[in-house]
Structure 1
């Protein structure tokens, strides 16, 4: 894989650490601002909502800008949002900084996904996506647990400052490692924005986007409120929260690596095997969460299954959106983050039920069940192996069909 792809992954690492880190900081932020845990959990939804809305908006605005300049600008805005977030004493301002940071990450990821696809041959989209998303999975392995531990030792604001510092080498890497004109600027299929947006009328594209959103909603529903499960249900100490987050991240890295190798050639295999296992895993985690060893094992496996399945579905989005070469990355980003916004909101509502801290895990199971029913009904579309008709040549889809 080309070096610029790994430099983009480094920036995704910093941004992914920020996106996921609240899973270990929710109790401390709630205590500091005097708000409920459920209200603090909506900061994750605010970030995801900003990304879902911002991905197509930022991609549309940046599609004619120089690629390197766009990517660098988004990283610097992301850095500034974390400086303000670390210094504020207002929960409203903190909420606003999460939205701004989300818009910056949305723009970055939308451009980066399209750039990544342009850096490799068309039939290696899945592997390129896996390298890019490895920044997120490494963030869950190393960045998020480290951020959680730092927050436990020095307070949640220290974690925000650390994210701002992490953005600096990412910015330097983009400035020095990417050519002045990124590969996406040479795509021949850009065409009018209206024609690229018209791709969203294709039922196949909408279907895989919806499935990706549902699976990611399940992932974020359980992951966002994992800390209370570790401390209140399993009765482990606070320092076990980073351990659980690290295990989830290690699983996600394994899952996205597997998806990168199979999603181009055998998407049906990943979905057929991973879907039922993921569906069974969330209820099992809810029922066995009071057993620490079992809890930690299941956290790893759910991370692996969630990212293997989610990564495969998002790769399918890139294939199905081949007729929108400059906007395809934003469609994949929007699908991921519609789910990431909805999942924690759905999960937060379950905290006041009899299930209490386990409610989000049951919510994740219900979301995967819904995704499974939809996928089964349209299994021919979801599990189809990419063909020449779906692979872009010079940025345009060859052939047609819906």
Structure 2
């Protein structure tokens, strides 16, 4: 695996840490800007919304630019946004900073996947994607806790500056290592034609449901583990670390299998995810079953990203627009799952509501695969005459 692929993973690690770091400094930002905690929560939503909508638009604008140059431009935009966040003098300036970083991160993720797929043989694309996406996994178990610790040790601005410097450093290293990968008008045109492929949209739909099912539960693990399962609040961080470790292991395993066994991984992973969520919902009061369910969800949910990416690239190619739209679809899944799960809980369906929401979305994910695979299984084989 080229060293460049690991550097791209570091960029993803830093940018994903920036996405979630606000969650670890809500009280400090609320006091700094004189707004409510809920208003600070909108900063997370602004980042996600910018990733969903702005990322593909930015990728379209860069579609005729070489991938290396496009990535470097996105790193610069991200650094501008992150610097603005570190210097933010009021809530509005921080909001603008989050939009800038969200837009650039979404397009950067898509281009990073596209670049890594160009650097390895086609049979290693899923494995390379797993290395890049492992940056996102590690950000949850290393980046976010470190950013929170730095905020508590110094202040929240220090966290912003450190992420800023990390992106700058990894960007410089990437610039020296990444070869020039051209993006011609013909390539850009072929990308647009990919969006007429129904298999690509089916792959997008499956990805959205997988991530939606996972985050419907993950977004509310804290209150569920304390209020439903009876764990002490001090135990929850350790359970989340256990969950995070499972995602790292699962990502590495899926990365090894994603290219050769794409559909078996997606179908088997979704089945296990639904079973884990179902067990959590039915036996949420039994702590040992809950721990086992957490491990199953961690090993399957977001760790199916390499297989999801391999399926998308198989259907639509390795272009940066195809992969950026995939990133946006994944972010949409996060918003969909967390919002539906939260709304169900607020409407009086209890702490198990997010878990049942995840079960339903997981079943929808299986259906989205079945509507593509089942008709192919029963399609009559072409006759010999058709080949003449």
- Pairwise TM-score range, normalised by the shorter structure: 0.7 to 0.9
**2:315 is aligned with 1:285:** no
Secondary structure of residue in 2 paired with 1:378: helix
Which of 301, 305, 314 is residue 306 of structure 1 equivalent to? 301
2 CA distance for matches of 1:166 and 1:176?
16
1:49 matched to which residue of 2?
49
1:79 matched to which residue of 2?
79
2 CA distance for matches of 1:27 and 1:281?
33
Q: Is the 8 A contact 1:219 1:364 kept in 2?
A: yes
**2:240 is aligned with 1:248:** no
Secondary structure of residue in 1 paired with 2:346: coil
* CA-CA distance at 1:132 after TM superposition: 1.0
* CA-CA distance at 1:177 after TM superposition: 2.9
* CA-CA distance at 1:273 after TM superposition: 1.9
Q: Structure 1, residues 31-81: CA drift from partner, whole Å, max 9, x if none?
A: 8765365x6555444323222223322222223334333323322332332
**2:92 is aligned with 1:97:** no
Which of 353, 360, 364 is residue 347 of structure 2 equivalent to? 353
Which of 259, 267, 270 is residue 272 of structure 1 equivalent to? 267
Q: Structure 1, residues 68-102: CA drift from partner, whole Å, max 9, x if none?
A: 33323322332332343345465454443322211
Q: Is the 8 A contact 1:142 1:246 kept in 2?
A: no
When normalised by structure 1's length, the TM-score is 0.81
1:146 matched to which residue of 2?
146
* CA-CA distance at 1:376 after TM superposition: 2.7
Secondary structure of residue in 1 paired with 2:195: helix
2 CA distance for matches of 1:129 and 1:278?
21
After superposition, the Cα gap between the structure-2 partners of 1:306 and 1:203, relative to the gap in structure 1 and judged at 3 Å, is same
Gaps of 5+ in 2: 378-388
**Alignment size in residue pairs:** 376
1:201 matched to which residue of 2?
196
After superposition, the Cα gap between the structure-2 partners of 1:353 and 1:25, relative to the gap in structure 1 and judged at 3 Å, is farther
Larger Rg: 2
Q: Is the 8 A contact 1:9 1:134 kept in 2?
A: yes
Q: Is the 8 A contact 2:133 2:305 kept in 1?
A: no
2 CA distance for matches of 1:61 and 1:217?
28
* CA-CA distance at 1:254 after TM superposition: 1.7
Coordinate RMSD, CA, aligned: 3.2
* CA-CA distance at 1:264 after TM superposition: 1.0
2 CA distance for matches of 1:25 and 1:381?
50
1:390 matched to which residue of 2?
none
Q: Is the 8 A contact 1:41 1:348 kept in 2?
A: no
Gaps of 5+ in 1: 384-402
1:114 matched to which residue of 2?
114
> Which range moves more in the overlay, 200-209 or 226-235?
226-235
